[in-house]
Structure 1
Amino acid sequence: MEYRRLGKSGLQVSALSLGSWLTFGNQISDKVADELMGVAYDAGVNFFDNAEGYAEGKSELVMGKILKAKQWDRESFIVSSKVFFGAENKGPNQMGLSRKHVIEACNAALKRLQVDYLDLYFCHRPDKQTPIEETVWAMNTLLQQGKILYWGTSEWSASEIMEAISVSKQFNLIGPTMEQPQYNLLERNKLENEYLHLFKEHGLGTTIWSPLASGLLSGKYTTGDTKDTRLDLKGMEWLKDRTLAADRMKKVEELQKLADKIGLPLAKLSLAWCLKNPNVSTMILGASKSAQLKENLTVLEVIPLLTDEIMEKIDEIMGTKPKLAAF
């Protein structure tokens, strides 16, 4: 396993991490979840990603039971939660980024995960109803209490992250360390364009999600068959329609041909491509089967196959490379 610094912080995260969105407490049994965490940990994965909103809190309950049963040394793993969407109850103060919800959600996540502190705590979305100062102060309070070690954002714009950084500097508080954006061959603008200033000037770390674009880049949907996949889950129709759009499918079919040519499964090609970006601190893998996870955990071995020439061909096929903004 390779370990990378989380931005400019001193925290070392495994280049590959395991996420629980749509799987833990929902798509897979607790027994399979336990197996997946064991496989990941044994392979050197040290970061396990979660959120209050995943399966309305059930995902954290499942992960908490597993962490307790495994009895791993607490210093050997990193666990996260995210605040915004609320868990099971969605009352007026049980969602968003108010001081009340940020602090109460953290306490609830600690109970569900059965840990004394969260290593990483993310604002899962920006909250237009709450002043950014209130959220930054709430995060700082949790840091001082030792309930969280680092805080960050997820799916925030560069200007929103900059505002949080400015507020933290103004009041001598600790600002965001990391952002969790979607990043894959179809979603590239934030990491390759919008956030460049944040990487260079502020040392922002990233914990990227959906490196396989909800499975589209895994190769299993090139036949259009979504049976027994996350796209077949109830309530995921929006994701299915977006993921399997005709223009995307065409690009992926071309990419499949390139992967075949260099002797790589499409999933490995797509994952290795993400890891080539030096601004990726860790890439979150999702899995519903241990064989699939074991295969994807070997992706670091194939990165050398992605030469400059292959990277150019990938850009040609996908046509998704963002045009850099002029500063």
Structure 2
Amino acid sequence: MQQRAVGSTGLTVSRLGLGTMTWGRDTDEHEARDQLVAFVEAGGTLLDTAAGYGAGASETLLGQLLGDVVARDDVVLATKAGISARPDGSRRHDTSRGHLLPALDASLRRLGVDHVDLWQVHLWSGATPLEETLAALDTAVTSGRASYVGVSNYSGWQTAQAATWQRAVPGRAPLASTQVEYSLLNRGVEAEVLPAAAALGLGVLPWSPLGRGVLTGKYRSGTPSDSRGASPHFAGFVGAYLDDRAARVVEAVARAADGLGWTPLEVALVWVRDRPGVTAPVVGARTAAQLRGSLGVEELELPAEIVAALDDVSAD
């Protein structure tokens, strides 16, 4: 698998990342192991998790597999902090230094490592001054707990403000990346986030590049019982893209796939992977078989006329 630099840093990653949001909850150890084996065998290096995934279960499971399935130094380990679970099951958003640094330490313990390659603030929070949040990133780098730092789910102005702040004074840790939702069903980041990232040297790591699974075409005639759309955890998440506009885009993707002899998944994923500024879409899968469908796109490239048609039908 080809490697790409993350923004203007020296960090390089495979041009597809493996997402582990469901690991430890909907994806058990056996499936996770099979996924990791398939990903590594295909040349993948970027492993993406978060402290908030399954209240730490994703990190714990990934940590159990590291060193067994693949050597620690052969992968780029990325995690996030800022979202955690309260005792009642609701989500807590906290980007204060007092939360972020202990959360990083807990992530390192669960992962069984002394540092991560990329540590990201999971979301923007207006409850904490930005300079405090960013100072925690500086501490993570200077203490050796993270090699690079980034942000996630920041808007365009938030991305620009954070990246500019880090570049303003020598010694601060520059932002390496931003992780945002980006697919044919959600192109909102093209207006401001992608230009900000390009101007300030940030790599872009799209999450949900398959439109929360909708772009695979699996929901064209209903909701399969074994899909995320039927899961109590993700029904609302997927349902947001089961509208008339999404249906038109999905049909266009399906027609393009038929004409190329590809699958809809391949069309949708290659479209995102090769967008200007994108470093590596992060793909998640319920099973290793599903993941292999994504890993098969390495040699594929969309014809320019297909890209133009998909751009047109998916434009807001």
Same fold? TM cut 0.5:
yes
Report the Cα distance in structure 2 between the residues aligned to 1:197 and 1:276, rounded to whole angstroms.
16
The aligned runs of 1:196-211 (5 Å cut-off) are 196-211=194-209
Q: Does 1:110 align with 2:108?
A: yes
The aligned runs of 1:82-161 (5 Å cut-off) are 82-87=80-85, 95-161=93-159
Please give the secondary structure, in 1, of the residue aligned with 2:204.
Answer: strand
Task: Sort the Cα spacing of 1:291 and 1:246 in 2 relative to 1 into closer, same or farther, 3 A.
Answer: same
Q: Deviations over 1:75-134 (max 9, x none)?
A: 21111111111156589xx74111111100000000111111011111111011100111
Match of 2:309 in 1: 313
Task: Sort the Cα spacing of 1:139 and 1:120 in 2 relative to 1 into closer, same or farther, 3 A.
Answer: same
The aligned runs of 1:168-183 (5 Å cut-off) are 168-172=166-170, 173-183=172-182
Unaligned runs of 5+ in 2: none
- Does structure 2 conserve the Cα–Cα contact (< 8 Å) formed by 1:57 and 1:88? no
Q: Does 1:25 align with 2:24?
A: yes
Match of 1:234 in 2: 232
Report the Cα distance in structure 2 between the residues aligned to 1:224 and 1:180, rounded to whole angstroms.
30
Match of 1:79 in 2: 77
Report the Cα distance in structure 2 between the residues aligned to 1:241 and 1:100, rounded to whole angstroms.
36
- Does structure 2 conserve the Cα–Cα contact (< 8 Å) formed by 1:207 and 1:280? yes
Q: Please tell me the residue identity of whatever aligns with 1:308.
A: A
Task: Sort the Cα spacing of 1:200 and 1:237 in 2 relative to 1 into closer, same or farther, 3 A.
Answer: closer
- Does structure 2 conserve the Cα–Cα contact (< 8 Å) formed by 1:255 and 1:317? no
Match of 2:246 in 1: 248
Report the Cα distance in structure 1 between the residues aligned to 2:248 and 2:93, rounded to whole angstroms.
39
Match of 1:290 in 2: 288
Aligned residue among 147, 161, 164 for 2:162 = 164
Q: Does 1:186 align with 2:185?
A: yes
Match of 1:222 in 2: 220
Task: Sort the Cα spacing of 1:87 and 1:63 in 2 relative to 1 into closer, same or farther, 3 A.
Answer: farther
Q: Please tell me the residue identity of whatever aligns with 1:285.
A: V
Report the Cα distance in structure 1 between the residues aligned to 2:85 and 2:41, rounded to whole angstroms.
30
Please give the secondary structure, in 1, of the residue aligned with 2:300.
Answer: helix
Please give the secondary structure, in 2, of the residue aligned with 1:48.
Answer: strand
Aligned residues: 313
Pairwise CA distance, 1:183 = 0.9
Pairwise CA distance, 1:147 = 0.1
Report the Cα distance in structure 2 between the residues aligned to 1:169 and 1:211, rounded to whole angstroms.
29
Match of 1:274 in 2: 272
RMSD: 1.8
Q: Deviations over 1:128-172 (max 9, x none)?
A: 110011111111011001000111111101211222223223443
Pairwise CA distance, 1:195 = 2.6
Pairwise CA distance, 1:186 = 1.2
Match of 2:48 in 1: 49
- Does structure 1 conserve the Cα–Cα contact (< 8 Å) formed by 2:197 and 2:204? no
- Does structure 2 conserve the Cα–Cα contact (< 8 Å) formed by 1:98 and 1:130? yes
Q: Report which of the two has the higher share of helix.
A: 1
Q: Please tell me the residue identity of whatever aligns with 1:279.
A: G
Report the Cα distance in structure 2 between the residues aligned to 1:291 and 1:236, rounded to whole angstroms.
20
Pairwise CA distance, 1:266 = 0.5
Q: Deviations over 1:193-215 (max 9, x none)?
A: 21343234211111111010111
Report the Cα distance in structure 1 between the residues aligned to 2:34 and 2:139, rounded to whole angstroms.
36
